[in-house]
């Protein structure tokens, strides 16, 4: 690290658990953030401010006035602009040293597989089950840890799926792809704006811990937040041997 980096990241380096070695791991890491909305905004901002070496952010949407209540990557002046282009501006303003790749597309197929394979950690900040399951399958296939978050109304959830670890579940163990699940969107149900900030920020924290191999991750635990009472509930999640994605038969 140069003198400027030592100063910029000094508050990390002062932490015995991180130090120069941990910060160098952050600087060498590549985070893939799927979604530049409510969850992706705080997650990407904290990853960039922490000095993640390379940040790829993917979203196929444009900035809408209704997004600004919670999607803090974007501004009023950028309404109508591609979300990923808006995101890149904000991320480079907070830390110009970060290599930001902004991709306006919906990830799928080989393209998704290639991007996941190149990442140190993946953050699922999307808002639909099809994308969540596709990202999970790619992470399982390439052995890349996945930090998954979701938020709707006043309810949030968060977990880490890292199948590099023996007996660790994947997203499909918890939410099977063949399960009949009602798709619920913010556009119809609404969402409490600070809630996505809480969940997205914790996603960034878990991702940074993973790239530094620091502390204990949320593998095997699903954290549920009721923001009305501001109470957390932790639920144990086990690997499903019959899982169609990571089960022993597949």
What pLDDT, in 10s, does the model give residues 197-232? 999 999 999 999 999 999 999 999 999 999 999 999
CA–CA separation, 215 vs 135, rounded Å? 25
Lowest mean pLDDT among 88-97, 150-159, 185-194: 185-194
Q: Is the pLDDT of residue 243 over 60?
A: yes
Under a CB-based contact definition with an 8 Å cutoff, are residues 137 and 161 in contact?
no
Residue 250, in any domain of the structure: no
Whether residue 182 lies inside any domain: the answer is: yes
Residue 204 belongs to a domain: yes
CA 154 to chain CA mean position, Å:
19
The reply to whether 247 falls in a domain is: no
Q: Does residue 245 sit within a domain?
A: no
- Domain with residue 185: its CATH number is 3.40.50.720
Q: Is the pLDDT of residue 124 over 80?
A: yes
Residue 216 in domain: yes
Domain total of the chain: 1
- Asked if the structure places residue 17 within a domain, the reply is yes
The residue range of the domain holding 209 is 3-236
Ramachandran sector of residue 37 (left: φ over 0; alpha: ψ -120 to 50; beta: rest): beta
Nearest to 161 by CA among 179, 180, 142: 142
Q: Which residues are catalytic?
A: 186
DSSP annotation of 232 reads: E
Among candidates 84, 237, 89, 83, which has minimal Cα distance to 160? 237
For the beta carbon of residue 247, count every other beta carbon within 10 angstroms.
14
The answer to the question of residue 241 being in a domain is no
Place of tokens 């620091």: 214
């Amino acid at each position: 690290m140069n003198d400027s980096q030592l100063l910029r990241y000094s508050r990390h380096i002062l932490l015995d658990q991180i130090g120069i070695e941990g910060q160098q791991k952050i600087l060498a890491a590549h985070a893939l953030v799927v979604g530049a909305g409510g969850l992706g905004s705080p997650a990407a901002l904290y990853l960039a401010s922490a000095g993640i070496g390379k940040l790829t952010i993917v979203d196929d949407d444009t900035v809408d006035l209704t997004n600004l209540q919670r999607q803090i990557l974007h501004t009023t002046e950028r309404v109508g602009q591609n979300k990923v282009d808006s995101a890149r501006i904000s991320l480079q303003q907070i830390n110009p040293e970060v290599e930001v790749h902004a991709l306006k597309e919906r990830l799928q197929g080989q393209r998704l597989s290639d991007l996941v394979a190149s990442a140190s950690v993946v953050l699922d900040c999307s808002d639909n089950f099809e994308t969540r399951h596709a990202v999970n399958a790619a992470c399982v296939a390439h052995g890349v840890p996945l930090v998954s978050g979701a938020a709707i109304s006043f309810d949030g959830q968060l977990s880490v799926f890292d199948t590099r670890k023996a007996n660790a579940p994947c997203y499909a163990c918890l939410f099977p792809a063949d399960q009949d699940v009602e798709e619920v969107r913010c556009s119809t149900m609404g969402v409490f704006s600070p809630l996505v900030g809480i969940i997205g920020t914790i996603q960034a924290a878990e991702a940074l811990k993973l790239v530094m191999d620091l502390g204990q991750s949320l593998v095997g635990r699903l954290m549920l937040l009721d923001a009305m009472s501001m109470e957390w509930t932790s639920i144990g999640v086990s690997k499903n041997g019959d899982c169609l994605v990571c089960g022993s038969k597949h």
